[in-house]
Amino acid sequence: KITYLRRKYPIRIPQYITINGGTQELTVEQQIYIEGKKEEEEPIIEVLLTDNVPGLGTKGHLVKLHRNRFWNNLYLRNLAELPTPERINELKSEACHNSPIMSIITNLDDANVLSGHSYETQQRLLNMTLYIPMNPSIPWTLTPKHVKVAFRRVGVVVEEEDIAMPEKPVTASTLEEFTVNVNMENKISVPVKCRIFLYQRLDAKTTTKPPSNVFRKIRLDDWLSDFPDDELRLLPGFTNKPYRC
């Protein structure tokens, strides 16, 4: 018969190897064990964000992610912790206290941090060059409507009122790269690199097309999965105990 033991008082802070070698000393409470059932370690855990984490969430939010990404990344950087009712209420109270209108409970989503699909869209806009096709045969000055149509060509929907044009007017003589700013969810302004593409008519129905491969490769963290193998690192002074940073 196998008897499984578990700590009577679970450790909420991991035991890390100290700089001088060896592990931290256990307290008396941490050395008390009682009989229990075999527990399977769940890879996905819920944690409380103690600061804004782009792509994941804002301070005070409860989010789910892989335990290795929590213990070996967010926790070590003081960006998240295991949730307790006291800490959840404390962060909510801080948000309410910092609100300009004390009588209104602050919405935690008001922080200038994007997550999920919005964060992915932001990263794609930051890593693209938008080519705006224009007619070289007539005089024109670039407007938000032209930019909106160019975005539609590459599958991005942006309203005209969310497009901020550069201070210097863009015309057919503008050869250099310029930047327009896109307002996202009234939280942040995303600068997008742009170039004018003066198309040429080949025949009655055909014109030259601007480049279609406008997006550069981006890397997004999958918070629900473990670190990829190419991110494995070794502990200083050890060669047989890989850890993930």
**pLDDT tens track for 27-78:** 788 788 888 776 666 889 999 999 999 889 888 999 999 988 898 889 888 8
> What's the rounded Cα separation, in Å, for the pair 46 and 43?
10
User: How many independent structural domains does the chain possess?
Assistant: 3
Q: Between these two residues, 197 and 220, which has the higher pLDDT value?
A: 197
Per-residue model confidence (pLDDT) at position 126: 93
> What's the rounded Cα separation, in Å, for the pair 111 and 186?
10
DSSP output for 197-208: EE--B-SSS-B-
What strands lie across the sheet with 163-164, from one edge to the other? 129-134, 188-198, 178-184, 163-164
Per-residue model confidence (pLDDT) at position 224: 87
- Asked which of 115, 146, 175 is the last residue of a domain, the reply is 115
The total of other beta-carbon atoms located within 10 Å of residue 50's CB is: 18
Per-residue model confidence (pLDDT) at position 46: 93
User: In this structure, are 137 and 211 located in the same domain?
Assistant: yes
Confidence of residue 143 (pLDDT cuts 50, 70, 90): very high
CB 145 within 8 A of CB 162: no
> Mind listing the pLDDT tens digit for each residue in 168-207?
999 999 989 999 999 998 889 999 999 999 998 888 788 8
The H-assigned helical ranges of 158-240 are none
Residue 195 domain-assigned (yes or no): yes
Per-residue model confidence (pLDDT) at position 235: 42
Per-residue model confidence (pLDDT) at position 232: 52
Residue 228 domain-assigned (yes or no): no
β-pair type (188-198, 129-134)? parallel
Which of 94-108, 193-207, 210-224 ranks highest by mean pLDDT?
193-207
User: In this structure, are 25 and 62 located in the same domain?
Assistant: no
User: In this structure, are 121 and 111 located in the same domain?
Assistant: no
pTM above 0.95, yes or no: no
The H-assigned helical ranges of 98-231 are 116-126, 144-153
User: In this structure, are 105 and 151 located in the same domain?
Assistant: no
Q: In which domain, by residue range, is 31 found?
A: 5-35
Per-residue model confidence (pLDDT) at position 112: 76
Confidence of residue 12 (pLDDT cuts 50, 70, 90): low
From residue 101, alpha-carbon distances to 92, 97, 125, 182 in Å are: 15, 9, 34, 28
Residue 229 domain-assigned (yes or no): no
Domain harbouring 109, CATH code: 3.40.5.10
User: In this structure, are 61 and 124 located in the same domain?
Assistant: no
User: In this structure, are 103 and 122 located in the same domain?
Assistant: no
- Asked which of 83, 115, 147 is the last residue of a domain, the reply is 115
Residue 193 domain-assigned (yes or no): yes
Residues 6+ apart with CB under 8 A from 217: 127
Per-residue model confidence (pLDDT) at position 231: 62
User: In this structure, are 126 and 170 located in the same domain?
Assistant: yes
User: In this structure, are 30 and 65 located in the same domain?
Assistant: no
User: In this structure, are 135 and 99 located in the same domain?
Assistant: no
Buried b / exposed e over 119-133, threshold 16 CB at 10 Å, is bebbbbbeebebbbb
